[in-house]
């Protein structure tokens, strides 16, 4: 039982749904006005140990609060122009629900902390598997942005103390303890889980800390808080090496909307053609990498265990087999029905495989369109908000009377690292008339 959603939200695996003052993150940078900025290394040439209290005061301005309609999280600035690193799952809700807001802190001469909230925040890089996102603040800074410094040589060790800064909170009340500091040792430098290595830390991490930085005593970011086991002190962070390359490869201003729109259209067109032709391999290639990763497989097998336990309880009460699906999938949802049939057909001693997960998501795409007797499609419009795209598609299907009817469907796409993918779920039709 664990949660990989450390920003306050209902989407937890528990419910089975699941500058700094001395550096800028790029070898060469350009200011917002296009003039050249002083080249600065990833960490300063002269590294200096800080007292922990001094470190907390120094780096606090680089840590931000991130808000979407689905929850709250943390992040940190890595460029004085406004590039923020956070977890993918912190901004994931913005694909379906509107905007991202980022609150930035600034300490004025008197020592007082001022804040500024920005609503024009655009994700330019998404990695659902590693759980990393880069977000640009497109508005002009109302307070100076003070980016943190990334560690560049992975020079941290088991037993070394680190500090975590973020904004833990409680989703039910909306209360968030902004810019909170905690400290503890690195319990293990490399702890394998979900098919990749994480830093296990003894510092306290709670909901709302997701996306917050881990600092060593040189004031360098060595990782990013990501997930924890529920009701334990076992906390985990993505190592800096897993997002350092993305920061350098995708600097502020590097996203090209015109080129990305064309690339995105090609994927969407391929997806719809594959739906028409029932081409499972192409549909699979158009879906996000997270749909077949180790994290998703673990979720599926958690579902499988819970589902089998419920089935066994119902069978002991002598419920007829014909009624089991209705009881286990009371809403008669296509997703629930498909999952029930997969569980029913799987031997009791077998777990799901990656191939099973792939098959589930492909069949989920086909199911709704088959039931609606889907015939053809036409892409009406496309709108990109950075690495997230919305497509309005006019589709034609056969109604109950055998007549062809046109309706609209909206699909969300994401740029999954270097490739566009369809963030597809069963269709939600909106009537436009005959």
pLDDT of residue 96: 66
* Rounded Cα distance, 245 and 262, in Å: 25
Which H or E run includes 113? strand 113-118
Give pLDDT tens digits for 304-340. 998 888 888 888 888 887 777 777 776 667 788 888 8
Q: How far is CA 179 from the centre of its chain?
A: 21
Which H or E run includes 191? strand 180-193
β-bridge mates for residue 224, sequence order:
238
* Rounded Cα distance, 401 and 390, in Å: 31
pTM over cut 0.95: no
Phi, psi (rounded to 5 degrees) for 307: -65, -45
Q: 180-193 and 196-201: which strand pairing?
A: antiparallel
pLDDT of residue 331: 60
Residues of the chain with pLDDT under 50: 1-41, 426-434
* Helix locations, 162-256, DSSP H: 241-249
**3-class SS string, 22-49:** CCCCCCCCECCCCCECCCCCCCCCCCCC
**Residue 360 in 3-state DSSP?**
helix
Phi, psi (rounded to 5 degrees) for 340: -55, -45
* Rounded Cα distance, 211 and 230, in Å: 18
β-bridge mates for residue 403, sequence order:
none
CB atoms within 10 A of CB 265: 16
pLDDT of residue 23: 32
Pair 100, 136: CB distance under 8 Å: no
Which H or E run includes 165? strand 161-166
C-alpha pair distances (Å), 228 with each of 12, 186, 195, 225, 249: 11, 14, 16, 9, 29
- Nearest CA-CA partner of 268 in 288, 286, 280, 253: 286
Sign of dihedral through CA atoms 225, 226, 231, 234? negative
CB atoms within 10 A of CB 364: 19
- Nearest CA-CA partner of 171 in 303, 15, 63: 15
pLDDT of residue 36: 33
Please enumerate in sequence order all residues whose Cβ is within 8 A of that of 376, keeping only pairs 6 or more positions apart, or say none: 276, 395, 396
pLDDT of residue 8: 39
Place of tokens 């040189």: 218
Q: How far is CA 335 from the centre of its chain?
A: 22
* Rounded Cα distance, 235 and 384, in Å: 35
β-bridge mates for residue 180, sequence order:
166
Sign of dihedral through CA atoms 147, 224, 238, 386? negative
Q: 71-79 and 83-86: which strand pairing?
A: antiparallel
Residue 197, token pair as written in the block: 């290595």
C-alpha pair distances (Å), 212 with each of 14, 65, 227, 300: 21, 9, 11, 28
């Amino acid at each position: 039982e664990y949660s990989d959603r450390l920003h306050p939200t209902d989407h937890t695996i528990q419910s089975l749904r699941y500058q700094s003052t001395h550096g800028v993150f790029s070898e060469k940078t350009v200011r917002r006005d296009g003039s050249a900025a002083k080249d600065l290394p990833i960490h300063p040439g002269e590294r200096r140990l800080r007292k922990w209290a001094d470190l907390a005061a120094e780096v606090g301005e680089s840590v931000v609060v991130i808000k979407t309609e689905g929850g709250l999280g943390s992040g940190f600035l890595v460029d004085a122009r406004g590039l923020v690193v956070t977890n993918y799952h912190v901004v994931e809700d913005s694909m379906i629900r509107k905007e991202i807001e980022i609150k930035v802190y600034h300490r004025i001469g008197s020592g007082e902390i001022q804040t500024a909230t920005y609503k024009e925040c655009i994700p330019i890089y998404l990695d659902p598997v590693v759980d990393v996102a880069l977000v640009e603040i497109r508005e002009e800074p109302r307070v100076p942005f003070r980016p943190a410094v990334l560690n560049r040589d992975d020079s941290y060790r088991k037993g070394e103390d680190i500090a975590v800064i973020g904004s833990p909170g409680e989703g039910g009340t909306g209360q968030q303890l902004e810019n909170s500091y905690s400290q503890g040792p690195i319990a293990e430098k490399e702890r394998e889980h979900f098919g990749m290595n994480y830093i296990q830390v003894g510092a306290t991490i709670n909901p709302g800390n997701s996306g917050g930085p881990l600092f060593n005593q040189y004031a360098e970011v060595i990782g990013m808080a990501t997930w924890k086991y529920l009701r334990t002190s076992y906390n985990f962070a993505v190592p800096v090496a897993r997002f350092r390359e993305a920061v350098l490869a995708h600097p502020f201003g590097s996203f090209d909307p015109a080129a990305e729109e064309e690339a995105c259209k090609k994927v969407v067109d391929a997806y719809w053609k594959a739906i028409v032709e029932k081409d499972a391999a192409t549909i699979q290639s158009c879906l996000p990498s997270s749909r077949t990763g180790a994290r998703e497989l673990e979720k599926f097998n958690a579902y499988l265990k819970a589902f089998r336990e419920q089935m066994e309880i119902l069978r002991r009460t002598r419920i007829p087999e014909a009624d089991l699906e209705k009881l286990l999938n009371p809403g008669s949802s296509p997703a629930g029905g498909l999952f029930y049939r997969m569980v029913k057909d799987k031997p009791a001693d077998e777990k799901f495989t990656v191939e099973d997960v792939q098959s589930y998501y492909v069949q989920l795409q086909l199911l709704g369109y088959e039931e609606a007797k889907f015939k053809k499609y036409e892409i009406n419009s496309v709108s990109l908000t950075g690495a997230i795209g919305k497509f309005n598609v006019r589709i034609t299907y056969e109604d109950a009377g055998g007549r062809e009817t046109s309706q609209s469907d909206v699909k969300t796409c994401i740029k999954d690292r270097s490739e566009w993918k369809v963030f597809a779920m069963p269709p939600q039709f909106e009537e436009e008339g005959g």
